[in-house]
Amino acid sequence: MTDSPTSKPPTYRRLRIRFAKGEPLKYISHLDLARTWERVFRRAGLPVAYSQGFNPRPRFQIAAALPVGVTGQAELLDLWLTEPLSPAEILARLRPQLPPGLTIHGVEAVDAQSPSLQSQMRAAEYRAVVHSDEPPEAIRSRVEKLLAAPTLPRRRQHKGKIQTYDLRPLIRTIAVEPGPEGTVYLTMRLQASPQGAGRPDQVLELLGLSTAPHTVERTNLYFDFDN
Amino acid sequence: MNDTLDRILPTVSKPARYTGGEWNQVVKDWDACDVRWCLVFPDIYEIGMSNLGLSILYDILNRRAGPHTLAERAYAPWTDMEAAMRAAQLPLFSLESRRPLAAFDILGFSLPYEQLYTNLLNLLDLAGLPVLAARRDESHPLVIAGGGAALNPEPLSDFVDAFALGDGEELVVEIGEAVRRAKKKGASREELLHRLAAIPGLYVPRFYEVEYDGTGRIAGVRPTRTDVPLPVRKRIVTTLPPPVTRPLVPYINTVHNRAVVEIQRGCTRGCRFCHAGMIYRPVRERPVAEVLDAVEAIIANTGFEEIALLSLSSSDYTHIEELVRQLVARHGDAHLSLSLPSLRIESVSVALMEQLQSTGRRSSFTFAPEAATERLRGVINKPIADEELLAVAEEVYSRGWKTIKLYFMIGLPTQTLDDVAAIADLARRVRAVGRRVLGRKAQVNVSVSTFVPKPHTPFQWTPLASEEEIKAQQDYLKEHLRGPGLKLNWNRYRETQLEAVLSRGDRRLGAVIHRAWQLGARFDGWGDQFKVEAWRQAFRESGLEIGFYTRRARDLDEILPWDHIDAGVRKSYLARDYRASLRGETRPDCRERCYACGILTAFRRERAAAPADAWGCPKSSDR
């Protein structure tokens, strides 16, 4: 999915699809989701543009990978087509081909020359619903302590190697609210940019909540173009 | 159940194996159906989803067998999921409606290979069912097994209620009908099994008794009721039913993540080692127009980017060139890749692949000469001259493929060390051809497997080679197939040995399989899971000898454990062909000339019902 503006004929249309990845699909990986979209496009008979080169790939980009097990309410992808089709027509063709768990909120045409979604992304918001007997205040005070820490060194595996990184600068805000009976809502706004992305499971782990039953949803993505 | 799953799934590897919901999944109204199948593939999801047989039966039962029949699916959970399920006391469930397997009327197990036997027991146990058929009653689902390995059903006869032999398309509908009637009548398990035994192609092992002589050989097999057939003949379809055009589309990557159109069933080449070549006779071809329509429909219904045209020998499909030409004309620019497995070593194959892969990457080209000397290729009835092989290799390299994969077997009957040395020699000659054309980029990947004698083949009487021989031969090849542009793969003997035991096993092995499973054996086809000690102990406790099953040459008149199973090819024909092999006599393609294997006699009626050109058998009458 290379994206150099010189290689594409001016007739390509770039469409932005806003979609949700729901419960039935939350265990499939980013790569699986990309393949699923590819097959949705083919079933819908859309004139998808292909990359040049030895092994042509359909041209679309998903803004950000969702961690396995996390649903997404406000996901974005950009798709390039070789023929002009109206967003309404595209939507009408796609909807009957969506598997359970995939929902399209909207389709809009965007400037074909604008930078890639990934490069414009800044932050993501996650909402965790945690089943816990603890009062929200107890969790809130742990959150405050966490946010007060100058650094939060964490380890992660990257390409088979263990790396250390600092999670603290990747956390923007964490809000704690009581939910219905025995649940607590945590709304985390985490950095998600080419320079680094915070993972909600890591935050929950630091808060001692990863063993409590919980679900996580990505509720929003923030981009440069959101002003 | 869903809460438990939600707790478990985040803790296991590849949780999407267990969540179903794939495109083209069929979920029928449970209460509106009175025949409920769960089709079970006793290996992991990624392998089971690539199995054509199950895809066909899923389609027939859900879409063609009427509104009151449903079929759901289950696969073997990987060891981490099994542990989590057992800890949570979560029984094995179907992917579609997440119902426990015990709630179904029929469990239909697919048995394409022998290394799945302990998994079958394990899945019955995970479903909370007694593994022994004799301990199950009307309150339990009926347990059916079918597939290639079921043509020697004896080793599993303690665990399976009935075996479906041969083509399953019509059988599953008839089984469902019998179960429906039995349910309505409130019939006993015994009555139901008796009804099933009357359906052609179904073998109900509990109605047969096996006696052994003092040496452990079989003295005789007799039915325990007068009204069950002996032998039990496999079932065939006269013509291939319409292909599946709404196959399941997996989310996660599977072994063969693509759609499949079966263009031909059966093979007329008669390679003497080949189980599939004997048990899937006769050859039935699908008309070109039907294949083309199916490809069109599949793309629209699935969005798959790859379609495989499946058969045991693509090159032998009568209209292969026309088919490929038409496919390329229609889909050549649609970013669709088409694959054609099992091509013969001839230049036509290279031309076909060149058309199919006109765009995109040409990765590797696979040939299976199986033996490296012309003499040994004569013995196994897969004749091709070295010169031709090298000429074809040259064409492959000069048309842009960089890698040639060569498949060989060691331990074939009459094989000598010269034949083994010839494998290294031939591979090096192929590399030399490649280097001449491509320079140092040319690659030869050699896979050497150990020959396992299979039931219903001309080599069913021959011994498995010994561990010492095989290890020495593998060592020789490791030594001589080193260096740039050469890669060697081989199998471990102990896994080959288990396959050999189970392939030609008898009923007494039931106790060994049962015990090995109790001792932890499962996923026996997975090298890192194979528990050799469990099997050794199980054999020790049973008093049976591994060597009796593997290393012993059987007399041609010995009663073999599968003699009462009739695959349509006569034992006398197999014996004649075996003797011919020892004389190095080949029997070329039986499309040209009939060698009277028995298939036309066994399926006279089916032949008469099929269109004249639907079968590969020549017009001349069988003896």
Nearest CB among B7, B16, B300 relative to A213 is that of B7
* Tens-digit pLDDT profile for residues A145-183: 999 999 999 988 777 888 899 999 999 999 999 998 889
Per-residue pLDDT band for A8 (boundaries 50, 70, 90) equals very low
**Cβ proximity of B222 and B208 under 8 Å:** yes
Distance CA B320, CA B207 (A): 45
Distance CA B59, CA B71 (A): 9
**Cβ proximity of B39 and B144 under 8 Å:** no
How much is the pLDDT for A181?
Answer: 84
Are both A138 and A217 inside the same structural domain?
yes
Q: Is residue B287 assigned to a domain?
A: yes
Instruction: Identify the weakest region by mean pLDDT among A45-59, A150-164, B153-167, B349-363.
Output: B349-363
How much is the pLDDT for B1?
Answer: 76
How much is the pLDDT for B370?
Answer: 97
For residue B282, is the peptide bond before it cis, meaning its omega torsion is within 30 degrees of 0?
yes
Please give the span between the terminal C-alpha atoms of chain A, in angstroms, as a whole number: 27
Instruction: Tell me if A101 and B21 make a contact (CB, 8 A cut-off).
Output: yes
* Tens-digit pLDDT profile for residues A83-108: 989 999 999 999 999 999 999 999 99
**Cβ proximity of A91 and A157 under 8 Å:** no
Residues of chain A neighbouring B302 (CB-CB closer than 8 A)? 39, 43
**Cβ proximity of B22 and B248 under 8 Å:** yes
Query: Is the model's pLDDT at B521 over the cut of 60?
Result: yes
Which residue does chain A place closest to B6, by CA atoms?
A213
Are both A100 and A148 inside the same structural domain?
no
Are both A109 and A137 inside the same structural domain?
no
Q: Of A63, A55, A36, nearest to A225 (Cα)?
A: A63
| Interfacial residues of B (vs A; Cβ cutoff 8 Å) | 6-7, 9-10, 15-16, 19, 21-23, 249, 251-253, 299-305, 335, 359-361
How much is the pLDDT for B623?
Answer: 43
**Cβ proximity of B308 and B257 under 8 Å:** no
The secondary structure element, H or E, covering residue B393 is: helix B386-398
Nearest CB among B15, B19, B305 relative to A24 is that of B19
Which residue does chain A place closest to B7, by CA atoms?
A213
Residues of chain A neighbouring B22 (CB-CB closer than 8 A)? 99
Which residues neighbour B106 within 8 Å (Cβ) at sequence distance 6 or greater? B35, B36, B37, B38, B141, B142, B143, B144, B175, B176, B179
Residue length of chain A? 227
Are both A28 and A72 inside the same structural domain?
yes
Q: Is residue B9 assigned to a domain?
A: yes
Instruction: Tell me if A99 and B6 make a contact (CB, 8 A cut-off).
Output: no
Token output for B263:
């263009």
Are both B550 and B469 inside the same structural domain?
yes
R_g (Cα) of chain B, nearest Å? 24
Are both A28 and A77 inside the same structural domain?
yes
Range of the domain at B173: 2-228
Half-sphere CA count of B280, side-chain side, radius 13 A = 26
**Cβ proximity of B254 and B300 under 8 Å:** no
Instruction: Tell me if B303 and A27 make a contact (CB, 8 A cut-off).
Output: no
How much is the pLDDT for A155?
Answer: 87
Q: A70-81 and A102-110 as β-strands: parallel, antiparallel, unpaired?
A: unpaired
Q: Is residue B162 assigned to a domain?
A: yes
Are both B287 and B216 inside the same structural domain?
no
**Cβ proximity of B427 and B389 under 8 Å:** no
Query: Average of pLDDT values for B520-529?
Result: 94
Checking ipTM against 0.85, whether it exceeds it is yes
Q: How far is CA B206 from CA B132, B159, B553, in A?
A: 11, 10, 29
Range of the domain at A91: 5-114
Interface test with chain A among B251, B254, B363, by most A beta carbons within 10 Å: B251
Query: Average of pLDDT values for A14-33?
Result: 97
**Cβ proximity of B501 and B548 under 8 Å:** no
Q: B202-203 and B162-164 as β-strands: parallel, antiparallel, unpaired?
A: antiparallel
Q: Is residue B170 assigned to a domain?
A: yes
Sign of CA dihedral B524, B529, B530, B535: negative
Residue length of chain B? 623
Q: What's the CA angle centered on A104, arms A173 and A3, to 5 degrees?
A: 80
Query: Is the model's pLDDT at B504 over the cut of 60?
Result: yes
3-state secondary structure of B110: strand
Q: pTM here? A: 0.95
Instruction: Tell me if B360 and A55 make a contact (CB, 8 A cut-off).
Output: yes
Per-residue pLDDT band for A1 (boundaries 50, 70, 90) equals very low
How much is the pLDDT for B248?
Answer: 98
Interface test with chain B among A31, A43, A66, by most B beta carbons within 10 Å: A43
How much is the pLDDT for B360?
Answer: 59
Q: Classify residue B234 by its DSSP letter.
A: P
Instruction: Identify the weakest region by mean pLDDT among A45-54, B48-57, B409-418.
Output: A45-54
Q: A161-166 and A153-158 as β-strands: parallel, antiparallel, unpaired?
A: antiparallel
User: At which residue do the structure tokens 């469409």 appear?
Assistant: A15
The number of beta carbons lying within 10 Å of the beta carbon of residue B294 is: 22
**Cβ proximity of B302 and B247 under 8 Å:** yes
Query: The domain that contains B147 carries what CATH number?
Result: 3.40.50.280
Q: Is residue B524 assigned to a domain?
A: no
3-state secondary structure of A90: helix
Per-residue pLDDT band for A54 (boundaries 50, 70, 90) equals confident
Are both A89 and A138 inside the same structural domain?
no
Name the domain boundary from A72, A96, A114. Answer: A114
Are both B441 and B496 inside the same structural domain?
yes
Q: Of A120, A90, A117, nearest to A104 (Cα)?
A: A90
Sign of CA dihedral B116, B117, B123, B126: negative
- The helix-helix angle for B467-480 and B417-438 (nearest 10°) equals 20
Are both B27 and B153 inside the same structural domain?
yes
Are both A77 and A129 inside the same structural domain?
no
Instruction: Tell me if A39 and B303 make a contact (CB, 8 A cut-off).
Output: yes
Instruction: Tell me if A42 and B361 make a contact (CB, 8 A cut-off).
Output: no
How much is the pLDDT for B403?
Answer: 95
Nearest CB among B9, B10, B21 relative to A24 is that of B21
- Strands in B78-170 per DSSP E: 106-110, 142-146, 162-164
Q: Per-residue DSSP letters for B303-357?
A: --SEEEEE-S-GGGSTTHHHHHHHHHHHHTTTT-EEE--S--SSHHHHHHHHHHT
Token output for A190:
């985490």
Name the domain boundary from A98, A114, A130. Answer: A114
Query: The domain that contains A201 carries what CATH number?
Result: 3.30.70.3190
Counted domains in chain B: 3
Query: The domain that contains A18 carries what CATH number?
Result: 3.30.70.580
Q: Classify residue B27 by its DSSP letter.
A: -
Q: Of B256, B283, B253, nearest to B268 (Cα)?
A: B283
B98: region left, alpha or beta (phi > 0 left; psi from -120 to 50 alpha): left
Beta bridge partners of A171: A190
Distance CA A57, CA A202 (A): 34
Are both A145 and A221 inside the same structural domain?
yes
Are both B58 and B200 inside the same structural domain?
yes
* Tens-digit pLDDT profile for residues B399-409: 989 999 999 99
**Cβ proximity of B136 and B130 under 8 Å:** yes
Token output for B163:
């075996």
Residues of chain A neighbouring B299 (CB-CB closer than 8 A)? 42
Q: Is residue B537 assigned to a domain?
A: no
For residue B231, is the peptide bond before it cis, meaning its omega torsion is within 30 degrees of 0?
yes
Query: The domain that contains B605 carries what CATH number?
Result: 3.30.750.210
Please give the span between the terminal C-alpha atoms of chain B, in angstroms, as a whole number: 60
User: At which residue do the structure tokens 């002589």 appear?
Assistant: B213
3-state secondary structure of A25: helix
Are both A33 and A91 inside the same structural domain?
yes
Distance from CA of B6 to the nearest CA of A (A): 9
How much is the pLDDT for A3?
Answer: 46
Instruction: Tell me if A99 and B19 make a contact (CB, 8 A cut-off).
Output: no
Are both B79 and B208 inside the same structural domain?
yes
> Does residue B563 or residue B331 have the better pLDDT?
B563
Instruction: Tell me if B304 and A39 make a contact (CB, 8 A cut-off).
Output: yes
Distance from CA of B571 to the nearest CA of A (A): 49
How much is the pLDDT for A215?
Answer: 93
Q: What's the CA angle centered on A78, arms A72 and A84, to 5 degrees?
A: 135
Counted domains in chain A: 2
Nearest CB among B19, B253, B302 relative to A43 is that of B302
Name the domain boundary from A57, A86, A114. Answer: A114
Distance CA B618, CA B301 (A): 37
* Tens-digit pLDDT profile for residues B171-222: 999 999 999 999 999 999 999 999 999 999 999 999 999 999 999 999 999 9
Name the domain boundary from B209, B228, B247. Answer: B228
Q: Is residue B412 assigned to a domain?
A: yes
Residues of chain B neighbouring A38 (CB-CB closer than 8 A)? 303, 305
Are both A10 and A110 inside the same structural domain?
yes
Are both B208 and B282 inside the same structural domain?
no
* Tens-digit pLDDT profile for residues B542-558: 999 999 999 999 999 99
Are both A124 and A193 inside the same structural domain?
yes
Are both A129 and A210 inside the same structural domain?
yes
Instruction: Identify the weakest region by mean pLDDT among B240-249, B440-449, B608-617.
Output: B608-617
Secondary structure of B170-212 in HEC code, one letter for each residue? HHHHHHHHHHHHHHHHCCCHHHHHHHHHCCCCEECHHHEEEEE
How much is the pLDDT for A65?
Answer: 95
Instruction: Tell me if A56 and B249 make a contact (CB, 8 A cut-off).
Output: no
Query: The domain that contains B377 carries what CATH number?
Result: 3.30.750.200
The secondary structure element, H or E, covering residue B36 is: strand B35-41
How much is the pLDDT for B527?
Answer: 87
Name the domain boundary from B190, B210, B228. Answer: B228
Query: Is the model's pLDDT at A5 over the cut of 70?
Result: no
Per-residue pLDDT band for B445 (boundaries 50, 70, 90) equals very high
